[in-house]
Structure 1
Amino acid sequence: MFRLIKKVKTGKRAGFITTRNGVVKTPFFMPIATKGAVKSLTPEELKMLGAQIVLGNTYHYVA
Structure 2
Amino acid sequence: MKGVALLWLTTLVLAVAEVAGAILWHGQEHSTVTFGFLMVIAAVINGIWAGLVAPLAAKD
Calculate the TM-score normalised by the size of structure 1. 0.27
Length-normalised TM-score, structure 2: 0.28
- Which structure has the highest strand share of the two? 1
More contact order relative to length (CA 8 Å, sep ≥ 6):
2
Structure richer in helix, relative to its length: 2
